[in-house]
Amino acid sequence: MKYSYNWLQSFFKEKLPSPEKLASLLTLHFAEVEEIKKEKGDCAISIDVRPNRAADCLSHLGIAREIGAISNLKLKTLNYKPIEDKKLKTKDFVSVEIKDKEACLRYTARVITGVKVDSSPKWMQERLETCGLRPINSVVDITNYVMLETGQPLHAFDADKLKGKKIIVRRAKEGEKLVTLDDQKVVLDKDILIIADAENPLALAGIKGGKGPEIDSQTRNVVLESANFDYSVIRKTSRKINLKTDASLRFEHGLDPNLTEYAANRASILIQDITQGKVAQGIADVYPRRIISKKIRLKLEYARSLLGKNISSLEMIKILKILGFKTKQMGKDVLDVTVPTIRRDVLLQEDLIEDIGRIYGYEKIEPVFPASSLIPPFKNLDIYWEDMVKDSLKQVGFNEVYNYSFFGDKEADIFGYKNELIEVRNPISSEQKYLRAILVPGLLKNIEKNINYEKEIKIFELGNVFTNPKQEKKQLTGLILEGDFYQLKGIVDFILNNLGISNISYREYNFPPQEIKTCVWHSQRYAEIEANGEKIGFLGELSKEVVSKFGIKEKIVSFDIDFAKLTDNASEEQEYRPISKFPAAVRDIAILVPLEVKADDVLDMINSAGGMLVRNVDLFDIYEGEELPEGKKNLAFHIIFQSEEKTLNSEEVDGLQDKIIKFLELNPDFQVRKQI
């Protein structure tokens, strides 16, 4: 908005700072000054008024209040009261009716008779031009002048052109028409608020006047409108008809209804002085719900703590009074502050504190680091271990998938479920009839859909499974297309080691016939995973019968781990064991043992016999076949020998191998079949 420097000066007895100094002060304490431009002995100052201050500062008087506060200059006393002609009564010329009291908060009208419409004085025209408005005639120029001065839009009607001597504020009728002062034809509807007389629409309320009762050179009697409208109604109408004016801009930001009478009196005095008109006695004023000043309790100690500056009570009270607030001491460092209705942006004590800080000067408040306790957030171990497992699997080439938590009758039949499943009350489809009890079906479907495009598929899912009686737990399941049992075992080792689990073992497991998982795994290529002596899951090859029902002919290996048990055994602390700088030697050994013997028992015997020089033992094959003696199976192991002190020669390695063989053959049921 543009403001006239000379006009602002007229509100003060003292001389204002130069335009440049004034611009600097306004920018520092109030709003950015965008431009200073010389205009015919005056100076136009363009100020970017913030939206929250539009209600009071889209006016010269509002900006003058700000200048007075930040420059410590006193405003002149401005009490406007026109001299009324007691022979003339306002009620004889016009009556006012508000039909929509929600949309029109107040309507004030004054009547001035015997006016002589001519050009406005030169000083007024110059100020209007400085602010970007074109002079029209004395009466219209005065309404524009008072709007720029007070912020309250005004409109003047030719009183002799009003039908029925009535002003009615109402919603338009569907299809009513109005031609505005700039010859724009508007078709009205029931959502548009208008000013009308007893017969016709006269103006678009708060936006633009109409052609009918406009002021012209023949006008002798004037009805001066000073009204207040609901901001949302004006905003919606302005957008609907695509018409924005100086008046609508101000109404859209919400004006003080108590401003209407002040502005009407100011304009009446100017019309009286400039056009030699007579002001009728009384005022037509319809004010359905009077707006009163708010009171806010301000705690000065809180203000100091919020601003970070020990400002004295007297200083804060002085600033508030300069800004137009009234204060009343209610106790030590407690004030009751009465907010003028013009300051509609002030709702909380924090708003008052902001004004105090602004006028006091933010540049005077020294920056300090905040004093606070930095409390680390509680560590969510579930999320921590989830991320650890996912990162470990991604490192070995797995992709994570997310599947729905449901499956249907087909999956229930394939995996042998009967009464163990929880049925969904309102399933989306028959394929999502049950809450899933295992993750394998969803992963097999993923492979089925992608097998024609990708032959190297390694996928995993970490999700919840559900079984009756209403049990829910989190499972970690991974599948490898055309994978190898021992490759999978190495991956599981890698995951568990990353989670700080070192006491890992794999035991052959014979599923009891009653367990539903009997049909899931290959009859011979699966094992139970143990961590610290606790069973945590399974790994092995999936049954070809199960896999084929998903249209997959290839071999698939899988691991299935109870995630809660996995995290119970996990540890962030890991034992560091340095890598030996001496080379390792590898020997293989095959042992024929009874079917009931566990591979872990044999592994423990090998470690016990080999001692500290056995660095690692891996089971790489379990074989049962017709060519073997009845009741026997063959276990094959890699044995890694390594010293941390020297390089082991062949004789030392062979000696350790022989020692292990002799120890194993102490059991008459064991037969070492092959050594390399």
Q: Are 247 and 206 in contact (CB under 8 A)?
A: yes
Residue 512: per-residue pLDDT:
55
Mean pLDDT is highest, among 305-309, 464-468, 568-572, for 305-309
CA separation for the pair 383, 399 (Å, rounded): 18
**Mean pLDDT computed over 249-270:** 96
Of 36-45, 515-524, 615-624, the range with the lowest mean pLDDT is 515-524
Place of tokens 């938590």: 405
Residue 279: per-residue pLDDT:
97
CA separation for the pair 521, 518 (Å, rounded): 7
For residue range 172-187, list pLDDT tens digits in order.
Answer: 999 999 999 999 999 9
- 3-class DSSP assignment, residue 617: strand
CA separation for the pair 295, 333 (Å, rounded): 16
Residue 214: per-residue pLDDT:
94
Dihedral sign (CA 648, 652, 657, 659): negative
Q: Is 171 left (phi over 0), alpha (psi -120 to 50) or beta?
A: beta
Fold match between domain 294-364 and domain 381-569: no
Q: Please tell me the CATH superfamily of domain 381-569, with its number.
A: Bira Bifunctional Protein; Domain 2 (3.30.930.10)
Whether residue 518 is predicted with pLDDT greater than 60 in this model: the reply is no
Whether residue 626 is predicted with pLDDT greater than 80 in this model: the reply is no
DSSP 416: T
Question: In this structure, what token pair is assigned to residue 479?
Answer: 């599948």
Residue 576: per-residue pLDDT:
61
CATH architecture of 585-675: 2-Layer Sandwich (3.30)
Question: In this structure, what token pair is assigned to residue 145?
Answer: 């002048």
CA separation for the pair 443, 465 (Å, rounded): 13
H/E segment holding residue 409: helix 409-414
- Count how many residues are written for the chain: 676
**Which one is predicted more confidently, 408 or 578?**
408
Question: In this structure, what token pair is assigned to residue 613?
Answer: 């020089």
Residue 630: per-residue pLDDT:
85
Whether residue 26 is predicted with pLDDT greater than 70 in this model: the reply is yes
Instruction: Name, in order, each residue with C-beta under 8 angstroms of 576's C-beta and a sequence gap of 6 or more.
Output: none
Whether residue 574 is predicted with pLDDT greater than 70 in this model: the reply is no
Question: How many whole angstroms from its chain centre is CA 423?
Answer: 37
Instruction: Name, in order, each residue with C-beta under 8 angstroms of 306's C-beta and a sequence gap of 6 or more.
Output: 350, 353
**Mean pLDDT computed over 637-650:** 89
* The CATH number of the domain covering residues in 294-364: 3.30.56.10
- Residue 575: which pLDDT band, with cuts at 50, 70 and 90? low
**Which one is predicted more confidently, 184 or 619?**
184
**Mean pLDDT computed over 632-648:** 88
Fold of 2-71: Phenylalanyl-tRNA Synthetase; Chain B, domain 1 (3.30.56)
Instruction: Name, in order, each residue with C-beta under 8 angstroms of 548's C-beta and a sequence gap of 6 or more.
Output: none
DSSP 364: G
- Residue 301: which pLDDT band, with cuts at 50, 70 and 90? very high
H/E segment holding residue 657: helix 650-664
DSSP 5: H
**Mean pLDDT computed over 473-496:** 89
Side-chain-facing half-sphere of 310: CA atoms under 13 Å: 0
CA separation for the pair 526, 514 (Å, rounded): 18
Domain boundaries, the chain: 2-71, 84-286, 294-364, 381-569, 585-675
The fraction of the chain above a pLDDT of 70, given in percent, is 97
Q: Are 552 and 451 in contact (CB under 8 A)?
A: yes
Residue 454: per-residue pLDDT:
86
For residue range 329-381, list pLDDT tens digits in order.
Answer: 998 889 999 999 999 999 999 999 999 999 999 889 888 887 777 788 887 88
For the whole prediction, is pTM greater than 0.85?
no
DSSP 106: E
Whether residue 138 is predicted with pLDDT greater than 70 in this model: the reply is yes
Whether residue 206 is predicted with pLDDT greater than 50 in this model: the reply is yes
Bridge partners of 331, per DSSP, are 334
**Mean pLDDT computed over 200-212:** 94
Question: In this structure, what token pair is assigned to residue 90?
Answer: 């306002």
For residue range 583-595, list pLDDT tens digits in order.
Answer: 889 889 999 988 8
Whether residue 523 is predicted with pLDDT greater than 70 in this model: the reply is no
**Mean pLDDT computed over 107-119:** 97
Place of tokens 């899988």: 558
Whether residue 516 is predicted with pLDDT greater than 50 in this model: the reply is no
Q: Are 156 and 143 in contact (CB under 8 A)?
A: yes
Dihedral sign (CA 98, 102, 104, 105): positive
Fold of 84-286: Phenylalanyl-tRNA Synthetase; Chain B, domain 3 (3.50.40)
**Does residue 153 have a cis bond before it (omega within 30 degrees)?**
no
Q: What are phi and psi of 137, to 5 degrees?
A: -155, 175
Residue 218: per-residue pLDDT:
94
Amino acid code (one letter) for 58: L
Query: Average per-residue pLDDT in the chain?
Result: 90
138-150 vs 122-130: helix crossing angle, rounded to 10: 50
Residue 514: per-residue pLDDT:
47
CA separation for the pair 276, 112 (Å, rounded): 10
Going by their DSSP bridges, the two strands 614-623 and 534-542 should be labelled as unpaired
Question: In this structure, what token pair is assigned to residue 556?
Answer: 């698939």
- 3-class DSSP assignment, residue 52: helix
Residue 355: per-residue pLDDT:
95
Q: Is 448 left (phi over 0), alpha (psi -120 to 50) or beta?
A: alpha
Residue 502: per-residue pLDDT:
75
**Mean pLDDT computed over 574-585:** 76
Residue 410: per-residue pLDDT:
87
